[in-house]
Amino acid sequence: MVRHSRVVSGWGLGALFMAALLGAAGCGAPSEGDGGGGYSTGLPRDKQVKDLTEADLQRACRSVQSGTGYKLTDAEVRGLCAAELAKASPEACTDAAIKDCMASYRAQEEPPDPSECSNAGEDRARFADCAITVGQWEDCMNDSREAYRKATSQLSCTMTEMAEPPAPPSCVTAKERCPALFSSSSPGGEG
């Protein structure tokens, strides 16, 4: 069975977008789904990350959980299924098998657990030196998500490995101005 978390954990920027959201705060991993859309923290885009309160970070976690930015599209699930099937056996990678894999994947999806946001913001002090706005943070998350979406959508029966795309310019800037969002103390962060 194709698991989104396995793919994300092996992909620096793919793991980053949720890790960056709340650092080691315990908001949880992205849920899989049928989405599109982008990230919105529900916070003012001009607010400085260093000024976020624990309540702000919990709100951001709940807002991202309820959005569609981190949900897998059908094209992504199709690509991931095709690659997984082809790795197991190239002959097994048929349209029927891919459809079965996709149906199985969708049948196992669960809604996000709101309790995953209860610890969000507990380590907000580590963002004290961050010189970026919420909008710049959201831009990095959305740009990273789009790069991941494109990469997974290109997987197929003949293309079974996903190359890590380069960091989007918005993330290069965010990392320079707020290294704490990218630190190894964040789950899936780059260190």
Encode pLDDT of 94-138 as tens digits: 999 999 999 998 888 777 777 888 887 777 888 888 999 999 989
CB hemisphere CA count around 74 (13 angstroms): 3
C-alpha to C-alpha distance for 46 and 67, rounded to whole angstroms: 20
Residue 151 pLDDT more than 50? yes
pLDDT of residue 14: 31
Q: CA 108, 74, 70: angle at the middle one, nearest 5?
A: 75
Sketch the domain layout of the chain as residue ranges.
4-23+40-182
pLDDT of residue 99: 95
pLDDT of residue 24: 30
pLDDT digit string, tens, across residues 16-72: 333 444 333 333 333 333 334 578 888 999 999 999 998 898 888 888 877 766 578
